[in-house]
Structure 1
Amino acid sequence: MITTPQLKTETWLNGSWEDYLKTLETLPDEKGKGYYYDHQYRIEMSPLGNNHASDHSLLNYIIHLYATLMGIELNGKDNCTFRKAQFREAQPDLAFYIGDNANIIPWGTTIINLDQYPAPNLVIEIANFSLADDLGKKRLLYEDLGVEEYWVVDVKEAEITAFNIQKQGSYRLNISQVLPNLELDLLRKALQKSRDTSHSQVGAWLLQQFQLS
């Protein structure tokens, strides 16, 4: 009987672009996401459980709420693929095109070709078991892709680490630059509140905070 080698996930593997694409073809639909950078690729499998899913949903909700209240043009992408063929690829948990770029990706686009379109203004990774990688190699990947701002959400600690990216370098932020005046500490408090209460109650609390600021 012929057996199929078990796919290695949650780690970076040496391989060519072609190796990476062949690996993607073996994944069940909607059951995994991939990253390619510096002649290595990484496959992460889903689902990732309640904790990851809850923080993912909450951050998506908060950002859309803030943009709506502040009149910021924004378009969100959930687990979308961003590709610079032969060189880099990423499938972040959340990505946002903001301001003048909000509607730059045409409806009907599947994989977003970064040779044709700009990178998203904001990318967010929700880290349950991948924190070191999200803060490390993925941050380098997003620097090279030309993302303006990158957030990593630490699910276990209800923490957010945010970076402003300039000239392929990244610098810690306390206040978002792409979502003006949004304080990261407020989002940390929202994450902490979500451990004991519903997202709708967190949203009501945030509405008060946004109106006071």
Structure 2
Amino acid sequence: MSEIQTKLPTDTWVVATWDEYIQAVESPAYEKAKCYYHNGQMRVEMPPVGNDHASDHTVVLFAVNLFASIKGIALNGKDNCTYRKIGFQEVQPDVSYYIGENADVIPYGTSIINLDIYPPPVLVIEVANTSLADDQGEKRLMYEDLGVQEYWIVDVRNVQVMAFAVENLGSRRITESQVLPELAISLLNDALRRTRQMNQGQVGAWLLSQFQG
């Protein structure tokens, strides 16, 4: 186990037992890492996160919260929250949301969200700058298994959001959110493109006009 802890490659999937995974992620060396476990493999993603990733993360989170507030949709978001199904799976998406009747299901005081007790989030978002292939591949399968209802990938380099509806252990591309009705994915893409020419305050004002229109 010491070899896994000291020589663990990052940003790739490594075969490991659940116990090995827990020992590794509880190591001080990975205190600030994002960690995943799925199908007997673990993945550790180490900081730092660059400007482009962090900026698009902020814009998409703001857009979802603003849309829900204007449309009166019950919603609670989690930033880099950890979800654990003991012995089987652990995920730490960039952004996740409980929406509608499940909006308030996670009480304050909860640390790692135990999926043997609580339902999975409704919407999960991964921001992909250098990790696009994995977000489209293994992580997509991981969230299908987890049972989320919708999965978005923010493709930083191509300035777009790819949205998937998840059902029956599969997923398909969608152009409008099903968990945030009437939210067109093309509008999010427009917002991201605008951030390349204007500041986030200006983009936020534009989103407000679109959502209220």
Q: TM-score range by the shorter chain?
A: over 0.9
| 3-state SS in 1 of match to 2:109 | coil
Could you give the per-residue CA deviations for residues 147-201 of structure 1, whole angstroms, max 9, x where no partner exists? 0000000111111110000111101110000001000000001001011111110
Aligned match of 1:53: 54
**Judging changes above 3 Å, is the alpha-carbon distance between structure 1 residues 162 and 209 closer, same or farther for their aligned structure 2 residues?**
same
**Matched residues in 2 for 1:158 and 1:21: separation?**
35
Whether the 8 Å CA contact 1:31–1:47 is kept in 2: the answer is no
Gaps of 5+ in 2: none
| 3-state SS in 2 of match to 1:134 | helix
**Matched residues in 1 for 2:48 and 2:200: separation?**
20
Whether the 8 Å CA contact 2:25–2:31 is kept in 1: the answer is no
Aligned match of 2:195: 194
Aligned match of 2:36: 35
Matched, 1:181 2:148: no
Aligned match of 1:67: 68
Aligned match of 1:89: 90
Matched, 1:24 2:53: no
Gaps of 5+ in 1: none
| 3-state SS in 1 of match to 2:8 | coil
| 3-state SS in 2 of match to 1:9 | coil
**Matched residues in 2 for 1:204 and 1:8: separation?**
42
* Aligned-residue offset at 1:23: 1.0
* Aligned-residue offset at 1:7: 2.9
**Matched residues in 2 for 1:165 and 1:155: separation?**
22
* Aligned-residue offset at 1:29: 6.5
- With normalisation by structure 1, the TM-score equals 0.95
**Judging changes above 3 Å, is the alpha-carbon distance between structure 1 residues 36 and 86 closer, same or farther for their aligned structure 2 residues?**
same
Matched, 1:152 2:137: no
Letter in 2 for 1:110: S
* Aligned-residue offset at 1:27: 4.1
Whether the 8 Å CA contact 1:131–1:154 is kept in 2: the answer is yes
Letter in 2 for 1:20: Y
Letter in 2 for 1:203: G
Could you give the per-residue CA deviations for residues 45-95 of structure 1, whole angstroms, max 9, x where no partner exists? 112111111011111111110000000000000000001111111000000
Letter in 2 for 1:50: N
Aligned match of 1:15: 16
**Matched residues in 2 for 1:6 and 1:113: separation?**
29
Number of residues of Structure 1 aligned to a counterpart in Structure 2: 210
**Matched residues in 2 for 1:157 and 1:176: separation?**
20
Aligned match of 1:76: 77
Identical-residue share of aligned pairs (%): 54
Aligned match of 1:131: 132
Could you give the per-residue CA deviations for residues 10-34 of structure 1, whole angstroms, max 9, x where no partner exists? 0000010011111102244752010
**Matched residues in 2 for 1:180 and 1:27: separation?**
42
| 3-state SS in 1 of match to 2:7 | coil
- With normalisation by structure 2, the TM-score equals 0.95
